[in-house]
Structure 1
């Protein structure tokens, strides 16, 4: 176990027994400036009471609990990659305890996003559909490409994830669409096409299409295709491990360390605005 640094960032991890939760626990444990102070899971989890590092054969000294207040008691920041309803419940508790939040959860409704924005008046929240540094650089590249290829190019977004992912398109794919639409002066709600079947007619040149693939253990692949006459431009990001999301999350933790309120994204964390 790594030595505890002086004045470490005190981190609680939600969904601590899940695939992403375990990656986060290990990233915190292995970091030089963070310490695990809480680990949360649902009341029905068989991992309750176990050490948060047990799945990896490590000892953190922190037991997984369903008591959100107890998990947050000694923490400065919560990292949450769970489900929208669970994340919102955690945020309400974070507001009560003055704990900042790093949100990697996707699939929020507009109403839920509004609740998060309201909570950010009381605590600092960093929310992003993808914590990967590479993905966020890709967002910036897409913004540049969309502006340069604003006419004469059809835009399609193709994403692939593991069989267990419950939402589609992915939050990252939707964010890509939002970035492109904004660069083109459009609203994604007005130009997105999420499904095609049967006689669809000619493609609307102002539309942004989405296709979702689910299968196996694909961590996350995203490709944006700009298809013109006589050429195609493809901008692709492929994840081979969730570790990139964990490391991006820790960068967000460090970014929030001196913040007491506000709603931020990974562009803020990486200085890409």
Structure 2
């Protein structure tokens, strides 16, 4: 049994995480939200799970480092500098950072990478995601995760190939690019589809999230796995031994 602390506990995801901790038979060490003290929480926890906001990431990583506890970072909307912060923290503690903690999405990303590596460059790749009306970032962290998987499968860099939000006279599709489309509305927990399109045939790999509980269960699975690991940066595929 582990003591698991939650950073960002006031929202719906925080409530789902607390329920998942109890369901897994662990001890809920407590939680904080904006204005809380992550160091005090870290000192009372065996592992932290962070679903707060990008602006709080540096402070939360510092707290984990000072307390010497591992941390799972599920916060989305991260920029390049945030990944530098994760890399720096991983020198001292185990850190698992992901755009999606769902075990199903983790397997989907693996399948996307495999498909992209085996299908030729004449197969176009388009990623479509849908989320609830309150989501503030687009494309979603999961869509970007899937885009990264596709780019790795092709041996390219997503930053060079991504096309977001086409509008107006865009011209013909540039070969090798990876397109993104984002839908927002209702209470959608998260739908993601990766379309591989060639002449006269299409392949679609999809994942539909019915509620936030799947992300919470995956995050707790990741937290369990991270305890006792040496310092370093880890990913969800390692949790599933992919």
Q: TM-score under structure 2 normalisation?
A: 0.97
- Find the partner of 2:231 among 256, 261, 267: 261
- SS of match in other structure, 1:140: helix
* 1:19 aligned onto 2:12: yes
| Count of residues in correspondence between the two structures | 242
Q: In the alignment, is residue 221 of structure 1 matched against residue 213 of structure 2? A: no
Q: What displacement does 1:199 show?
A: 1.1
4+ long deviations beyond 3 Å: none
**Alpha-carbon distance between aligned partners in 2 of 1:10 and 1:207, rounded to the nearest angstrom:** 44
Larger RCO (alpha carbons 8 Å, 6+ apart): 2
**Residue among 171, 174, 193 paired with 1:201:** 171
Structure 1's unaligned 5+ residue stretches are: 1-7, 44-65
Q: CA deviation at 1:231?
A: 1.0
In the TM superposition, 1:1-273 aligns within 5 A as: 8-32=1-25, 34-43=26-35, 66-272=36-242
- Alpha-carbon distance between aligned partners in 2 of 1:121 and 1:185, rounded to the nearest angstrom: 27
**How far 1:150 moved relative to its partner?**
2.2
What is the distance in 2 between the residues matched to 1:77 and 1:30? 17
CA deviation after TM superposition for structure 1 residue 79, in Å: 0.4
Range with bigger deviation, 67-76 or 239-248? 67-76
Question: Distance in 2 between the 1:136 and 1:263 partners?
Answer: 16
Q: Deviations over 1:69-89 (max 9, x none)?
A: 222221111101111111221
Could you tell me which residue of structure 2 aligns to residue 54 of structure 1?
none
- Equivalent residue of 2:166, what SS? coil
CA distance in 2, matches of 1:31, 1:185: 38
Report deviation, 1:185: 1.4
Q: Does the 8 Å contact 1:100/1:260 carry over to 2?
A: no
Gaps of at least 5 residues in structure 2 are: none
Shift of 1:203: 0.6
**Matched-pair contact (CA < 8 Å) for 1:13–1:80:** yes
Q: Tell me the distance in 1 between the aligned counterparts of 2:125 and 2:38.
A: 43
d(CA) in 2 for partners of 1:70, 1:136? 32
Which is higher, the Rg of structure 1 or of structure 2?
1
Kindly provide the CA deviation profile for residues 44-90 of structure 1, in whole angstroms up to 9, marking residues without a partner as x.
xxxxxxxxxxxxxxxxxxxxxx1222222211111011111112211
Once superposed, what is the RMSD of the aligned Cα atoms? Answer: 1.1
- Deviations along 1:184-208, whole A, 9 cap, x unmatched? 1111111110021111111111111
Partners of 1:218 and 1:180 lie apart in 2 by 24
